[in-house]
Homo-oligomer: A and B are copies of this chain.
Amino acid sequence: MKKFQVTFQPSGVRGEVLEGTTILDASRELGVGIESLCGGIKACGKCKVKLVEGHLSPFMDEESTFITEAEKADGYRLGCAAQIKGDVLVFVPEVSLAGKQVVRKAATERAIELNPAIHLYYVELSPPSFQDLRGDLDRLKKGISEKYHLSPLDIDYHVLLKLPRVLRQANWKVTAVIWMEKEILDVKPGRVEDAYGMAIDVGTTTVAAYLCNLRSGEVIATGSMMNPQISYGEDVMSRISYVVANPEDGLEKMNQLIVDGLNRLTRDVSEKCHLSPEDILELTFVGNTVMHHLLLKIDPQYLGVSPFPPVVHQSVNLKARDLGLKVHPSANVYVLPVEAGFVGADNVGVLIAEEPYHQDERVLIIDIGTNGELVMGGRKLLTSSSCATGPALEGATIKFGMRAALGAIERVRIDPQTLEADFKVVDEEYWRSESRSIKAKGICGSGIIDAIAELYRNGIIEKSGRFNPKIQSSRMKTSEGRPEFIIAWQEETSIGKEITITQSDVRNVQLAKGALYAGAKLMMKRLGIERLDKVILAGAFGSYIDKEKAMILGMFPDCDLANVYAVGNAAGDGARIALLNRYKREEADEVAGKIEYMELTIEEDFQREFIEALEFPHLKDPFPHLKGIVREEILQK
């Protein structure tokens, strides 16, 4: 087959690709980050590029959903649709460049009881003699069993290979590294006191790693990266679709991407504290069920088909080397159990961190990731469910939506008197009104929630979600006959145009919050709960969400605002807890086995509850600081 040269601007990256390769695939091959939220199925329109020179395949009908006639005339195409048919020069507009994610998964301060799976045992052995001809291993085992009463002990094959050399070099004084009091994972010369492990949260979007000293429990380094699978689709369904559509190597490729990424991540994080990946003796993982399966190279296709059963529920222990992870050659991997096809090991992580099963209150835990996972109950009974919030709360399906990357608007406020908007972008200290050098590129999940809550409480949108036609404001505009609200003026953005909230954006957020609300309502009905005592908002997203705004939108049923908590990345905390305390692993299997999964879509009231939940709730007095003419008008209605 023919090869053609493709050059991407403004980066200048160039290379050869086969005839017929799409622009999006070419960008992946050459390492140019082009956004693709739908996974390249012409459904999101985020991969828009401009042909400057050369030949591409003819314009397709599907492209016109996202590309206007004017843009088309200007050479705009969807990267996932346009195939390369000659040498080409392509311009990637800033709006289509995949941003560098700002990772929001810092380790939370939590008191964790220390009882890791790895312990160190120092022994001094007598060397072999004609009177004592035991083998090296038998000698070591005897030494350990006499001093520490551990037996029987297995030894990892790789340790056996180095054992004779280490014993002699160390003059028969060694420290044995033992996993779960049953397997020797290493033998180190002399007396060693510290051992290291890593807890990893494999999110659909972000992977976060916490390197811990297993003796002190201290987090000594953290790091994170984008999940490299993201270039094959933003959400779990598009990852499954990719595997199904590529039966020969799709699973292999997905697995290799995350494994290679984890190898880079463990190396980078180890280097931060002058360790090597070989120092990592255990890894614990959380992740949703699809990430869990892809990490383990288990075919996720059945997770995409009703009744969505996972291949494995219970926790999995295996050798890191069997996964291709380059850490200590004998290291163990512990993957937390999953609850169901759509309630994964990440949710189990949240549970062992928050322990609702030890609480007398009626608790609702909402874990908002790319998917919404709900847990409700308490000591007596726990139920979980999941709902398709859609990717709106993560920035997809939103006209100017983006991930929480540099330039993303994460906070919005609207002056009730003037209806003027102000915003704050990720990693900037000041609001736009305080620093005119700030430029926005798009709007991320917490910004969208803020914006819509502000629009609602200022009466700009109505309870039904419709833009109030009576509102007169320079911020309001009409695009293709539908109203939009301008959050950032053109001069406040880096994308050469205004950033707005559209009627369709509002509808998408309504669908997401409606699903969460309806789900929680159905669970309350099933459990006979009239009113929640406590709501916990978890998720990397959760720590940045404004709980008051979430309540204004009606993301969850009524609860005293004082009893609503944002706990941050509780899933990652769960991985860390399992790393540092092996008894919590038993607790994890226990709760994952006991929790009842409720499939919301087959509940008969689901449709009705969902439709009722689409409206925004009545504005009531929990918001006494709301002032201004517009609100007064609304409350008088």
Contacts and interface: CB of A to CB of B under 8 A. Distances in A.
Interface of A: 128-130, 133-138, 157, 160-161, 163-165, 168, 296-299, 301-302, 306-314, 316, 318-319, 322, 338, 340-341, 597, 599, 602
A247 to B, nearest CB: 11
A216 to B, nearest CB: 32
A329 to B, nearest CB: 11
Nearest to A593: B138
A217 to B, nearest CB: 29
A4 B64 CA distance: 69
Given A160-B296, A164-B299, A137 B340 contact: no
B599 A309 contact: no
Nearest to A321: B322
Given A160-B296, A161-B297, A297-B161, A133 B307 contact: yes
B128 A312 contact: no
Of A134, A309, A316, chain B has the most CB atoms within 10 Å of the CB of A309
B164 A298 contact: yes
A135 B338 contact: yes
B137 A307 contact: no
A310 B136 CA distance: 7
Given A130-B602, A133-B597, A338-B135, A163 B311 contact: yes
Given A157-B318, A161-B297, A164-B311, 9 more contacts: A130-B307, A133-B599, A135-B310, A135-B314, A136-B311, A157-B296, A161-B299, A163-B298, A164-B299
Contacts of A298: 160-161, 163-164
A309 B163 contact: no
Given A135-B338, A299-B165, A160 B130 contact: no
A78 B278 CA distance: 48
Contacts of A597: 133
A33 to B, nearest CB: 31
A353 B492 CA distance: 87
A23 to B, nearest CB: 34
A126 to B, nearest CB: 11
A104 B546 CA distance: 82
A546 B313 CA distance: 64
Contacts of A160: 296, 298, 311-312, 316
Of A135, A161, A299, A313, chain B has the most CB atoms within 10 Å of the CB of A135
Contact of A311 (B137, B296, B311, B313): B137
A135 B312 contact: yes
Which 5 pairs of residues, A with B, have the shortest CB-CB distance? A135-B313, A128-B309, A137-B312, A135-B310, A138-B313
Nearest to A158: B322
Nearest to A338: B135
Nearest to A300: B164
Contact of A136 (B133, B134, B312): B312
Nearest to A135: B313
B312 A133 contact: no
A157 B301 CA distance: 18
Nearest to A602: B130
B599 A307 contact: no
Contacts of A136: 302, 309-312
A137 B309 contact: no
A55 B298 CA distance: 61
Given A297-B161, A298-B161, A134 B318 contact: no
A623 B302 CA distance: 79
A310 B135 CA distance: 5
9 contacts: A133-B597, A134-B313, A135-B338, A136-B309, A136-B310, A137-B312, A157-B296, A157-B318, A160-B296
